[in-house]
Amino acid sequence: MGNRSSLLLREEEIAQIQEETGFTPNQIERLYSRFTSLDRGDCGTLSREDFLRIPELAINPLGDRIVHAFFEEGCSDRVNFRQFMQVLAHFRPIKKGKDNKLNSREQKLKFAFKMYDLDNDDKISRDELLAILHMMVGANISEEQLTSIAERTILEADQNGDQNISFEEFCSALERTDVEQKMSIRFLN
C-alpha cells in the first residue's frame, strides 16, 4: 500500500505548517500519518467521533473539552490537517529563542482558559469551575468539598469582585505556575 501520507503532503505545505506551528518536517509527516489513520472516511478531515477514538482522549476526564478546542475556530463539524496542527502547536514545548505564537505562554494560557470557559463568555463562573471539577474528579470528592474548592478559587482569583474569573485574573492566578512545562507534550522525538 505504501506510505500514502508522505505522498499527500507537498513540500510547500510542510514548510507553511512548520512556519505556523514550529514543528519539524519529520514531526509534521509523522503527525500527518497519525491524522490520516484517524480519518476513517478518507476525506482529509476529522470529525469529533474520529477524535474520540484516540485512546488517550477517550480516558481523559477532559477529553470532550480538548476535542471541543479543535472545533472552536471555524465552528465546523470537521477539522483539516492544518487546523489539527495549529491546536497541537499549543502543546509543543517552548524552545529558548524559538518562540512561536501558537505555543507562547499567553497562547497556552488562552487555551487553558477556554477549557474552563464552558459558555464562551470570556469568564469562568463558579458553576463552570464546578462542572470542570466534576469532570476531573468525578465522584471521588463530595459535592460539598467541590463547591468549597470552586468558591475558594473564585474568591482568591476574582480581583474585581464580579464573582467570575476573567482571562486577566486567570493569568494573574497562574503567574507563578510553569505553564510552559505543564502544557507541553514531547512530540514524536
Q: Tell me how far apart the 2 most distant CA atoms of the chain are, in Å.
A: 61
Task: Read off the pLDDT of residues 20-52 as tens digits, 9 standing for 90 and up.
Answer: 888 999 999 999 998 998 888 768 899 888 888
Q: Please check whether the domain covering 10-96 is classified as CATH 1.10.238.10.
A: yes
> Same fold for the domain at 10-96 and the one at 105-180?
yes
CATH no., domain 105-180: 1.10.238.10
Label residue 97 by pLDDT band (50, 70, 90). low
Is the Cβ–Cβ distance between 147 and 167 less than 8 Å?
no
Task: Read off the pLDDT of residues 114-128 as tens digits, 9 standing for 90 and up.
Answer: 999 999 899 999 999
Residue 23's nearest CA partner among 32, 181, 7 is 32
User: Burial letters for 11-28: b for 16+ Cβ neighbours within 10 Å, e otherwise?
Assistant: eeebeebeeebbbeeebb
Nearest 5°: phi and psi at 164?
Answer: -135, 165
How is the chain split into domains, by residue range? 10-96, 105-180
Mean pLDDT, rounded, for 144-149: 94
Alpha carbons within 13 A on the beta-carbon side of 155? 6
E strand map for the chain: 45-46, 79-80, 123-125, 164-166
Instruction: Give pLDDT, residue 41.
Output: 73
Distance CA(124)–CA(118), nearest Å, equals 8
Distance CA(14)–CA(10), nearest Å, equals 6
Instruction: Give pLDDT, residue 105.
Output: 86
Alpha carbons within 13 A on the beta-carbon side of 184? 14
Q: For all residues of the chain together, what is the average pLDDT? A: 85
